[in-house]
Amino acid sequence: MQEEAEARQVFTPEMIDTMARIWTRSIITLIDVRFQNVASQYPLEQYKMPCSMLIYACGGEAQIQLNETTFGMERFGLVHGGKGSLLSISPKGEPVKAFMVFYKAELPLFFKKYLQQLLEQVNPFVQQFGYTPSNPILLLDWFQLMLKGWNRGNAMDQLQAKSFLYQLIHGVYRDFEGGEIRYLQPDPACSAKIYLDKHYREPIMFQEIADTFGISGGQLTRLFKKKEGMSLQEYLIRRRIEAACHDLKHTEATIKEIATGSGFADEKNLFRMFKKYYKMTPSDYRKINALSMQVDGIDNDSHIHYNERELASLVKSYRDGESAMFGQARSKEMILAAAMSLMLLLSACTSGTPANNGGTVNPTPAQTQQTTQPEVSEAVSQTRTISTVFGDVEVPNNPQRIVVDYLVGDVVALGVTPLGVSRAARTTETEAVFAKQITDSIKIAMEPEDVMTLEPDLIILAWGDEKYEDLSKIAPTIYVPYGDMTTEERIHFIGDVLNKQEEAKAVLNAYAKKIEEAKLSLQNAGLSDMTITMGEFSDKNNSVAGDKHAVGELVYNQLQMKAPPKVQTDIIEANKYWGDISMEVLAAYVGDYLISLGDNEVPADNAVWKSLPAVEHNRIVTVGSSLSWSTDIMTSSALIDHIVNQLITLAK
C-alpha cells in the first residue's frame, strides 16, 4: 500500500513544506517569459531547457514529454523541469498554447549550508512533474499577465512578472497540499525502465533518475522492484550482460571493446561478472558460441567441409576474441555438448542478474564449490542495498577487499582490516592509534588508477567526494558525509555497510561508557565547572575552535565541558568552525584551561601570552595532529583518554 500511495502522489506534506522553505530562502532570477502556438503538424521536439522552466499548456489534447517521461494532457497542463531537460509538445488535434517561464535559482551565502541540507532531501528546481491545476483559468490569467509585463521591458513591469512567478509556485504547492488534483505523472518505474533501456551503456546514477520525479532513490527502487520483480541494479546489469553476450557472439571486437561498449567500467568488471555468474571467462563464452553457431547455422554462404566423420577446420577463438583456424578433428559428441552448453548459457543470459554499477563481489567458498548454474535469487542474496547521499548502492554481504580513505579507525574498530588505506589519512604515522592494526594494509593515493590496482570489492569514501563518480566505476563506493553525522549515526551507518551491525552496537556501547566514565572523572577532579579554550596559537595568528571542530565537538558536546562566554557567543553560537583572534584580545577568549591543537610551537616568549592565567599556571594540554586531525571513533576514544588524563594531572 505504501508503494501504491507513492505512485499516486509523490509530494508529501513534509516535502511540500521543505520545498516552500527552499523557495523562500533562495535567490530567484526570472530570465525570460515566452509564448508559442504549437500545431500538430509542427510539434516542438527535443528542446533542451537552458534553465529551470514552468510550462503551461492549454487548448487541445496533447502529449508533453520531458526526457523519457511522457505526460498526457487533455485541455490544461502545468509541467516543470530542470536545466538540461529535453522538452517536446505534440498536439493530437487542434493547436496548443504554450507559456514558458525560464528562471534560475541560486543559494545565498548566509543560508547556503542550511539550504544544501534541505536540497539533499528534495530539490524543487530540478523536479519533474505535471498536473492539471485546480483553477486552470486563474493560472491562465497569471501567465498572460506575466507575459505582457515581461514583454513591456521596463523594470516595474518585469518586477511584477517576477511576483507572478512566486504566486504561481505558491498556487502549485497549494494544489499539491490540497491533494484534489490529477497528476499527469506516469509510472516512475516505467520511465526508469525506458531510461535504462536507452542509456544502459553509459554511466548511470540512479539518484539522478529519482530526482526527476522528486522522490528518493529508495522510493524509486521500491516502485521499480514491485513492478519489474528486480532492483534497478539487477535490471541494469542484465541489460549490460545481454549486450555483452550479443557482441561476443556476433562481433570480432576485443573483450576490452565489448566491456566498454556494454557499459561496464572496464574489461576487469566484465570478466568478474562472467566468472561469477557463468563460471567462465568472456573468451570461453565466445568459444562455445562459435562452436554452436557452426552446428546450428542452416543458410550460410560458405559451408564447412565434412570428411564423412566430422566437421573440419572449425574456427577457434582465443585470448581477447582473436580467431585462428585449426584442423583438429572434433567429434560430433563434442559439438553436441557445446550446443547443450549454449542452451544453458542462453537461459542464464535471459534471466536477471544483480548489478554492481562499477564493482563486483568476490564469490564465497560456497559459491566456488557449486557446479550448477546459480539461480537469480541465489545471486541476489549475495548483495545488499545501502541508501546513501548519492543514491542506493548494491554492496557485497561479506566484502573482503575494502579500501578506506579517511575513517580508517571506524572500520578497524568494527573488526575489519582494510586491504588499502589512503596515505593522506595519517595512517603511516607511528603514533596513529590504529597503526598496529593496519601494518598489512597497502598505503595508496586515493586516485582511481591507484585504487584500481587493488581490485577492491568495496570502497568507503569520506574525503574528496569529487572522486566518487570515478571510484564508483571501479567497485561499489559508499560516501560517508561524516561532517553531517553524529558519531552514533556514522558508526551505525558504516556497520550497515560492512554488515557489522552487532559490532557497531558493541563499539558504541563501549564508547558511551567511556564518555560517562570520563565525565565522572572530571567531576571528581573538580573540573566540571572549569572553562576550556582550544585552538592553534602562535605569535602571528590565533585560531580558536568552536564545537564544529572535531576536538571541540568532543570536549563541548560529548564531555559537556564549558566554553568561555566569548567563545560561546562569538564562535559556537555563530556556528563557526574557527574564530581568528588577535593576540591583543585573546585574553577575553581564554578559559581556565587551554588545549593547544596541532604541532605548532606555542608563543612562549610573547608578553601577552605569558600573562594569560592558564599559561601562567601551566594549565595547557597539548594535542598533536595525529589526534586532532581525525574524527574516527578510535582516535576520538584515544583523544578522550589523553585530554582527561592531562586535565586531571594539571588539576592536581
Please write the tens of the pLDDT for every residue from 632-650. Answer: 899 899 999 999 999 999 9
CA distance 103 to 29: 6
Fold equal for 187-297+309-376 and 511-651: no
Query: What is the radius of gyration, based on Cα positions, of the chain?
Result: 32
pTM: 0.45
pLDDT digits (tens, 9 = 90+) for 243-298: 988 898 888 889 889 988 888 878 888 887 777 677 788 888 888 876 655 544 44
What residues have CB less than 8 Å from 414, skipping those under 6 apart? 491, 494, 495, 498, 500, 503, 504, 507
Supply 528's cell numbers.
Answer: 566540571
- pLDDT for 291 equals 60
Domain at 2-183, CATH class: mainly beta
Cα–Cα nearest to 651, from 614, 604, 603, 606: 614
Helix 332-349 with 282-296: angle, nearest 10 deg: 120
Least confident window among 58-67, 424-433, 529-538: 424-433
CATH number for the domain formed by residue range(s) 187-297+309-376 = 1.10.10.60
**How many degrees, rounded to 5, is the angle at CA 37 between CA 33 and CA 42?**
125
Residues paired with residue 421 on neighbouring β-strands, in sequence order:
404, 443
Q: Look at residue 504 and tell me whether its pLDDT is greater than 90.
A: yes
**Confidence grade of residue 593 (pLDDT, cut at 50, 70, 90):** very high
CATH code given to domain 399-499: 3.40.50.1980
Percent of the chain with pLDDT over 90: 32
Torsion of CA 453, 456, 458, 462, to 10 degrees: -30
Which helix (H) or strand (E) segment holds residue 100: the answer is strand 96-106
Q: What is the pLDDT of residue 515?
A: 94
The pLDDT of residue 507: 95
pLDDT at 431: 52
**Residue 556 has what pLDDT?**
92
Q: 51-96: per-residue pLDDT in tens?
A: 999 999 998 888 888 877 777 788 899 999 999 888 989 898 889 9
**Per-domain residue ranges for the chain?**
2-183, 187-297+309-376, 399-499, 511-651
- Interior CA angle at 414 toward 409 and 419, to 5°? 65
Give percent above pLDDT 70 in the chain.
79
Q: Exposed, middle or buried, 129 (CB in 10 Å: 0-12/13-18/19+)?
A: buried
Place of cell 589526534: 627
Pairing of strands 402-404, 532-537: unpaired
Q: What is the spatial distance between Cα 52 and Cα 61, in angstroms, rounded to a whole number?
A: 24
Q: Which three cell numbers stand for residue 151?
A: 514583454
Q: What confidence score (pLDDT) does residue 222 get?
A: 83
Which pLDDT belongs to residue 498?
96
Place of cell 512578472: 161
Higher pLDDT, 317 or 524: 524
Q: Which of 508, 559, 517 is nearest to 534 (CA)?
A: 559
Closest CA to 455 of 268, 217, 258: 268
Average pLDDT over residues 313-332: 38
| Mean pLDDT of the residues in the chain | 79
Question: Is the pLDDT score of 326 beyond 70?
Answer: no
Instruction: Return the closest-CA partner of residue 318 out of 286, 295, 294.
Output: 286
Q: In angstroms, rounded to a whole number, what is the distance separating the alpha carbons of residues 501 and 493?
A: 9
Angle at 543 between CA 538 and CA 546, to 5 degrees: 145
Question: 493 pLDDT exceeds 90?
Answer: yes
Residue 352: pLDDT band by 50, 70, 90 thresholds? very low
- Residue 241 banded pLDDT, cuts 50, 70, 90: confident
Indicate whether 478 pLDDT > 70.
Answer: yes
Long-range contacts of 585-589 (CB under 8 A, 24+ apart): 586/537, 586/542, 586/612, 587/611, 587/612, 588/564, 589/533, 589/544, 589/564
Helix (H) or strand (E) holding 132: strand 129-132
Which of 1.10.287.3510, 3.40.50.1980, 3.40.50.2300, 3.50.50.60 would CATH assign to domain 511-651? 3.40.50.1980
- CA-to-CA dists, residue 486 to 114, 559, 632, angstroms: 17, 14, 11
Q: Does residue 427 or residue 376 have the better pLDDT?
A: 427
- Average the pLDDT over 499-510 and give the result: 95
Reading the block at residue 602, the C-alpha cell is 606555542
From residue 577, how far is each of 111, 184, 199, 424, 462 by CA, in Å? 16, 46, 43, 22, 19
Predicted confidence band at 346 (pLDDT cuts at 50, 70, 90)?
very low
Q: Among positive and negative, which fits the CA dihedral 293, 297, 301, 302?
A: positive
- Helix, strand, coil percentages (3-state) for the chain, rounded to 5, are 45, 20, 35
Query: What are the φ/ψ torsions at residue 104 (nearest 5 degrees)?
Result: -130, 140
Which of residues 533 and 326 earns the better pLDDT score?
533
